[in-house]
Copies of this chain bind each other. A is one copy, B any other.
Amino acid sequence: MAVYTDVSADELGAFIDGYDIGKLLSYKGIAEGVENSNFLLHTGAGHFILTLYEKRVAEQDLPFFLGLMEHLAARGITCPQPVKNRRGEILGKVAGRPAAIVTFLDGMWMRRIDARHCQALGEALAKLHIAGADFPMTRRNALSVEGWRPLYEACLGRADSVHPGMSETIESELIALEQSWPRNLPSGVIHADLFPDNVFFLGDKLSGLIDFYFACTDMFAYDVSICLNAWCFEADFSYNVTKGQALLAAYAKARPLTDAELDALPLLARGAALRFLLTRLVDWLDRPAGALVRPKSPQEYFRKLRFHQSVKSAADYGITAKALA
């Protein structure tokens, strides 16, 4: 939960006056998201989300993120749509931060995931990949394999304080992934952070996707493997193959996975687990005293990585090439 930057009513009112969305009637900081400051706005025209981009989001990436949301929304993906101000711009400045207003989406993220949610997610993820295919901009994934070693080095010698043996496991995993990371799988725009809190439901129906601030150009199957990690494990870190099956089958129905993608799935899943293990580890070890945001424990992704290391083929995740035929 986070609001890093407070805003005065006068300043925000003046900012809103630059838009054609009526007068500002109220705004409340939202206790969600850990990268940016988010406010729920009520104006004469309805409800909106105002995001102030904090320093962890690079300003030069904002046109990619906001342009992507516009692009996807125009292709039927339910996601926040950037609102243009009277000058036709979608990016402004509030309290010295880059800021954008996007439409408000109804729906709630699921704290308790079941297989039906995983099925809905799989289908939505495939549709996202298809809808993004003709998005003209690209953005390198800074948190892919080349980005992992610097993260590891940032916490060198300290990982074992979180879990004995963690350093050695990460080191050898890094070497393995650097040597064998696939390069030629189908690629395009991926969300790269489609955790349950970024997926809204109304009842059992998926109603929208949010938070595109890690979106980038990378392998589709890597996005799938991020979701397997985020959606298909139980609280005790055991993999739930029913959920995995539901996610993968629904995905493949909308966008068939190639044999090469299926073959690479265990490796990609290890990479996805390592990516979140490393960023959580850095946040955990470097958390400032008195921080307002409690970092997530790296343990969870260490356990998930261990599981993926034991996986022999995509069949262990609940899908086989035969199933797709």
Residues A18-58 near B (CB distance < 8 A): 24-32, 40, 42, 47
CA A57 to CA B289, docked complex, whole Å: 28
B-chain residues with CB within 8 Å of residue A12 when the two chains form the complex:
108
**What residues of chain B lie closer than 8 Å to A294, measured between beta carbons?**
290, 292
Q: Among residues 232 to 275 in chain A, which have CB atoms less than 8 Å away from a CB atom of chain B? A: none
Name which of A25, A112, A291 has the most chain B CB atoms within 10 A of its CB.
A25
Q: Which residues of B contact A9 (CB under 8 A)?
A: 108-111, 201
Contacts A40-B40, A110-B9, A112-B8: A3 and B31 contacting too (C-beta < 8 A)?
yes
Contact across chains for B108 and A24 when beta carbons are under 8 A apart: yes
**Nearest CB of B to A17, in Å:** 12
- Do B28 and A40 touch across chains, with their CB atoms under 8 A apart? yes
A2 contacts the other chain (Cβ, under 8 Å)? yes
A30 touches B27 (CB 8 A): no
Complex Cα–Cα for A289 and B106 (A):
36
Chain B neighbourhood of A42, CB < 8 A: 47, 106
Q: Which residues of B contact A290 (CB under 8 A)?
A: 287, 290-291, 294
A156 within 8 A of B: no
Contacts of A47 in B (CB 8 A): 42
Q: Are A28 and B32 in touch, CB under 8 angstroms? A: yes
Q: Does A324 reach chain B (CB closer than 8 Å)?
A: no
The contact of A112 among B3, B10, B108, B287, by CB within 8 Å, is: B10
Cβ-defined partner of A25 (8 Å) among B202, B291, B293: B202
State which residues 169-207 of A face B: CB under 8 Å. 200-202
Nearest residue, chain B, Cβ from A7: B111
B289, A292: Cβ atoms closer than 8 Å: no
> Do A29 and B31 contact each other (CB < 8 Å), given the known contacts A3-B1, A10-B112, A112-B8?
yes
Residue from B26, B31, B109 within 8 A of A2 (CB atoms): B31
Quick check: is A6 within 8 A (CB to CB) of the other chain? yes
- Could you say which residues of chain B place their CB within 8 Å of the CB of A287? 290
Contacts of A318 in B (CB 8 A): none
| Chain B residues whose C-beta falls within 8 Å of the C-beta of A108 in the assembled complex | 9, 12, 24, 26-27
Q: Is the CB of B106 within 8 A of A26?
A: yes
CA distance A3 to B30 in the complex (A): 10
- Minimum distance in angstroms from A111 CB to a CB of chain B: 4
Cβ contacts under 8 Å, A98 to chain B? none
Contact indicator B29/A1 (Cβ below 8 Å)? yes
Quick check: B6 and A111 within 8 Å, CB to CB?
yes
Interface assignment of A67: CB less than 8 Å from any CB of chain B: no
A108 to B107, CA, bound (A): 25
Give Cα A109 to B7, complex, Å: 11
**A25 and chain B: residue at smallest CB distance:** B106
Bound: A47/B106 CA distance, A: 12
Identify which of B27, B107, B112, B292 contacts A26 (C-beta below 8 A).
Answer: B107
A-B contact pairs, 11 of them (CB 8 A): A1-B2, A1-B29, A1-B31, A8-B111, A12-B108, A25-B106, A40-B40, A42-B47, A287-B290, A289-B289, A292-B292
List residues of A whose CB falls within 8 A of some B CB: 1-3, 6-10, 12, 24-32, 40, 42, 47, 104-112, 200-202, 287, 289-294
